[in-house]
Structure 1
Amino acid sequence: MSTIKDVAKEAGVSIATVSRVVNKSPKASKSAVESVTNAMKKLGYRPNEAARALVSQKSNIIGVVVSDVSDPFFGLLIKTVDKIAYQHGKHTLIGNGYHQAEQERDAIELLIKNRCDALIVHAKALTDEELIHYAKEVKGMVLINRFIEQIADRCISLDNYQGAYIATEHLIKNGHKNIACIASNHLIEDADARKSGYLAALKDHDIILSEDYIAAATPDAEGGIEAMNNLLEKDINITAVLAYNDYMAAGALSVAQEKGIQVPKQLSIVGFDNGLIARYLYPRLTTVNYPIELMAEKAAILALKRANNETVETQQLNFSPTIVLRDSACKANN
């Protein structure tokens, strides 16, 4: 394996000159850049990125912490951040937190140790205090899908409460009163906010339902199946269902179809997120739009600007949800 000394000898320059070229120093002359670059290609020399980072305090890496990279929602988030990273000549390093405080902490620590220029964090288990501490340590850190008042200028978030509220209200305005809620059993603020939005909409329209109308399970298709089966086993009348996300809605839809319940004629179903799956279910899923691509793009750009000490213009950081009308919900048959 070639060393920096070999490159210097091949290029006919000093080791210091090779170092300046490798670290893109403006002091390196055009002829030096050309000769060193040619020597590195000839010898197959690759600069030590860790050493470069120590010298320049930059690694050309954007770090991203998500719950689970296998979840399509987070896959889209990462893809968007990676697009912005590529546009800025950087690479993306990913950590999984799995909604567990210890794993979220480990992921953030690993990315910090790798001297990421910018850091986009989706963390639900860590406390506000710990995230504020990290934000003070890493000037290019931005939170996504989390709002903390003390670092509000670094938080890109969605109003989950309002999303569930408008979805429930949409069903109410279409004549539904017996509206069930398929909730997530994860102990995170998103789950609480969406359940609270559902309950608030019922209350504001003078609809009183028992706790039997709420079933919680894991926020995936299997959880949707489990929760829907639990609801149908109860002796209650249900004309509509609001699901925590599109995958739980897909699970609920599959149960309805297996049991011969016509959607939306006999049962309306509304999801949340407006993921790719919502467009290809049958019937196509009415859902709440979660603009994760736009939010991820904003987060990546904001993180890079902060990391580079650039002026950050006043911009939209808190996004409002909207409902996407498709075919899985209609007027109630009274």
Structure 2
Amino acid sequence: MATVKDVAKEAQVSVATVSRVINHSPKASKAAIQAVTVAMKKLGYRPNAAARALVSQSTQTLGVLVGDVSDPFFGSMVKAIDTIATEQGKHLLIGNGYHSAKKERETIELLISQGCEALVIHSKSLTAEELITFANEAPGLVLINRFIPEIAERCIALDNLKGSYLATDYLIKHGHQQIGYICSNHDIEDTEQRKAGYLQALKDHGLTCTEDHIEYGAPDEAGGELAMTNLLTRGLPLTAIATYNDYMAAGALSALEENNIEVPKAMSIIGFDNGLIARYLHPKLTTVRYPIQRMAEQAAILSLKLANKEKPVTNNMIFVPTLVKRLSVVPATSATSV
């Protein structure tokens, strides 16, 4: 493998000159640039990224922490961040936290140690205190889908309570009064906020809710299926179900089908996130739009500006969810209670 010394010898220049060319120094002459470029191509030499970083004081990388990159939600998030990074000539370093405080902590520490000046962090397991400490260490760190008042200017988040309120309110305005809720069992702020939105909508419309109307499960298809099955065993006169996310809604649909309960004729159902799965379920799922792509783009832009010590415009840090009306909700007069 060719070294920088080999390139210098082939180009008949000094090692310092090769270094200036590699790091785009204005002190490098046109003749030197041409000679070094030809030599590198002839020898198959590729500049060492770490060495370049030592000279330029920049790794040209944007670090990203996600829950699990195999999840389509995080896939959309990473793609949006990569689009912005590519426009700015940056590359991504991606780590998975798997909703584990230990993994999230280790990944953030690794990204910082690798010289990532800009970081977009999706952390649900670390405490606010730890994330504030990391933010103080890395001026380009931005949180996505998390709001911490002490670093509010570096948080891009969604109004989860409002989203769940919209979903429940939509069911109520369709005449539904017996509404169950399928909730995530993850101990994170999203869970609390979305459950709170459901309860607040019922309260504002003068409807009562007991704990029997709420069932918990893992925020995936299997969790939704089990939660729906458990709700059905209670024999409540439900005509509608609000869910924590689209995956739980998909699982609920499966359980309803297995029990010969037709959706939406006998049971209306609404999801949350507007993931790709929502438009391909049967019936097509009415849900709440989570603008993760736009949020991720803004988080990436903010992170890069902070890393470059630019003063960013920090308007619209809390995004507002909207309804996506499809075919899984009908008026209660069209439904028969279970």
- Residue 213 of structure 2 is matched in structure 1 by 213
For normalisation by structure 1, the TM-score amounts to: 0.98
For 1:270 and 1:215, locate their aligned partners in 2 and report how far apart those are by CA, in whole Å. Answer: 15
- Residue 303 of structure 2 is matched in structure 1 by 303
For 1:245 and 1:149, locate their aligned partners in 2 and report how far apart those are by CA, in whole Å. Answer: 26
Alignment of structure 1 residues 9-88 onto 2, 5 Å? 9-88=9-88
For 2:173 and 2:202, locate their aligned partners in 1 and report how far apart those are by CA, in whole Å. Answer: 11
Aligned partner letter, 1:52: R
Structure 1 residues without counterparts, runs of 5 or longer: none
Shift of 1:325: 0.5
Aligned partner letter, 1:303: S
Shift of 1:50: 1.3
Structure 2 residues without counterparts, runs of 5 or longer: none
8 Å contact from structure 2 (residues 174, 330) kept in 1: yes
For 1:224 and 1:174, locate their aligned partners in 2 and report how far apart those are by CA, in whole Å. Answer: 23
Alignment of structure 1 residues 214-229 onto 2, 5 Å? 214-229=214-229
- Residue 145 of structure 1 is matched in structure 2 by 145
For 2:32 and 2:242, locate their aligned partners in 1 and report how far apart those are by CA, in whole Å. Answer: 65
Alignment of structure 1 residues 1-334 onto 2, 5 Å? 1-333=1-333
For 2:42 and 2:165, locate their aligned partners in 1 and report how far apart those are by CA, in whole Å. Answer: 63
For 2:257 and 2:29, locate their aligned partners in 1 and report how far apart those are by CA, in whole Å. Answer: 71
For normalisation by structure 2, the TM-score amounts to: 0.96
Secondary structure of 1:272's aligned partner: coil
Shift of 1:117: 2.8
Shift of 1:38: 1.7
Shift of 1:313: 2.0
Secondary structure of 2:271's aligned partner: strand
Shift of 1:107: 0.6
Shift of 1:27: 2.0
For 1:327 and 1:193, locate their aligned partners in 2 and report how far apart those are by CA, in whole Å. Answer: 26
For 1:303 and 1:36, locate their aligned partners in 2 and report how far apart those are by CA, in whole Å. Answer: 35
- 1:314 to 1:121, Cα distance in 2 relative to 1, 3 A: closer
Secondary structure of 1:177's aligned partner: coil
Shift of 1:29: 2.2
* C-alpha RMSD of matched pairs (Å): 1.1
For 1:216 and 1:276, locate their aligned partners in 2 and report how far apart those are by CA, in whole Å. Answer: 23
Aligned partner letter, 1:307: A
8 Å contact from structure 2 (residues 153, 314) kept in 1: no
Give CA deviations for 1:68-127 in whole Å, capped at 9, x if unaligned: 111110011011111111111111111111121111100101111110131000001111
**Structure 1 runs of 4+ with >3 Å offset:** none
For 2:32 and 2:135, locate their aligned partners in 1 and report how far apart those are by CA, in whole Å. Answer: 40
Aligned partner letter, 2:37: T
- Report the count of equivalent residues: 334
Aligned partner letter, 1:77: M
Aligned partner letter, 2:282: Y
Secondary structure of 1:102's aligned partner: helix
For 2:81 and 2:260, locate their aligned partners in 1 and report how far apart those are by CA, in whole Å. Answer: 43
For 1:99 and 1:230, locate their aligned partners in 2 and report how far apart those are by CA, in whole Å. Answer: 26
For 2:323 and 2:72, locate their aligned partners in 1 and report how far apart those are by CA, in whole Å. Answer: 20
Secondary structure of 2:119's aligned partner: strand
Percent of residue pairs identical: 61
Secondary structure of 2:288's aligned partner: strand
For 1:300 and 1:77, locate their aligned partners in 2 and report how far apart those are by CA, in whole Å. Answer: 10
Shift of 1:30: 2.4
Shift of 1:287: 0.4
For 2:55 and 2:138, locate their aligned partners in 1 and report how far apart those are by CA, in whole Å. Answer: 18
For 2:214 and 2:78, locate their aligned partners in 1 and report how far apart those are by CA, in whole Å. Answer: 32
Give CA deviations for 1:198-220 in whole Å, capped at 9, x if unaligned: 11111111111211111110001
